[in-house]
Amino acid sequence: MDMRFTPEQEAWRHEVRAFLKQEMTPEFEVELESQDYTTSTTSVPFSKKLAARGWLGMSWPRKYGGQDRPFMDQAILSEEMGYFRAPTAAHSFGLNQVGTAMLYHGTEEQKLNWLPKITKQQVVFSQAFTEPHAGSDSAAIETRAIQDGDDYVLNGQKIFCTSFHRSQMMYVTTRTDPNVPKHKGISLFVVPVDAPGVSSSRGLTIDHGRENTVFLDNVRVPATNMVGRPNQGWNVMMTSLNMERTGLEPPARNKRDLEDLIEYAKTHHRHGRPIIEDPFLRYRLAECAIEIE
């Protein structure tokens, strides 16, 4: 037993592992790998199984569909999901980026409406932040949102919207005030992907995945779909991106990949001896293990 964890936490890890060993069968992994990268990481049926167990948003308050469980339980779950290469994209963006932003910045009405839908896997979200001239500089967005009565009208273009074609709702950054410093005039909206005026084109990535360019042409969105206060979207966006950068799953997935690589090096030969006996390779594998840890 790893002494960093309590007996209760260790029992929880074993419960999660038992579930994943049952679900992540070799046949299911082959099925996922036969699809393009984006689709293979987005399994709504798998996410619904987690939702049925109350494992989505488990650290959230019960009134919003959570379980009021410790953050460490959530961390253990995320780590195991990564290690078993579970397809989590159907719920992870809505849960981590959108849901967390709503918890901190949303209205009570938004929390009661959207958060239970996220924890029950009743909606899949996609991200629409990046633009042709606004990549790493997230504040350089040009997509406009102009208020018209109780609505906002959105016009602009978003790129690299990876899961757009698998989602029902987009999480969109817009410029609501062009006359202030660029970090000060941003607002975020939840937008239905099938709203009138939303269209997309498909692109392929080098790893056989899919990304989408999304066009917003006079898309009308209720003001109640704004997450956070008008022109305060930079703070909301940073809350979302901070959650995206926590990154518990990738190191665990990398650990599994390294274990597979080591097993391959033990069982395959080059020049009449196991690959693992190559001193340079052993050094590189040790470096990888240290970096992952």
Compute the distance between CA of residue 54 and CA of residue 156 in angstroms, rounded to an integer: 38
> What pLDDT does 200 receive?
95
Helices (H), 149-248: 233-244
> What pLDDT does 259 receive?
97
Residue 102's contacts (CB-CB under 8 Å, 6 or more residues apart) are: 110, 111, 114, 115, 227
Catalytic residue, from 31, 244, 263, 291: name it: 244
Q: How confident is the model at residue 245 (pLDDT cuts 50, 70, 90)?
A: confident
244 is catalytic: yes
Mean pLDDT computed over 125-150: 92
Q: Could you tell me how many residues make up the chain?
A: 293
Q: Does the pLDDT of residue 94 top 90, yes or no?
A: yes
| Segments of 54-209 assigned E as strands | 125-128, 144-148, 151-158, 169-175, 186-192, 198-204
pLDDT digits (tens, 9 = 90+) for 142-157: 999 999 999 999 999 9
Mean pLDDT computed over 78-84: 95
Q: Which bin fits 167, alpha (ψ -120 to 50), beta or left (φ > 0)?
A: beta
DSSP state of 192: E
* Three-state SS at 285: helix
Compute the distance between CA of residue 276 and CA of residue 261 in angstroms, rounded to an integer: 10
Compute the distance between CA of residue 199 and CA of residue 38 in angstroms, rounded to an integer: 19
Helices (H), 135-248: 233-244
> What pLDDT does 37 receive?
74
The pTM (predicted TM-score) of the whole model is: 0.89
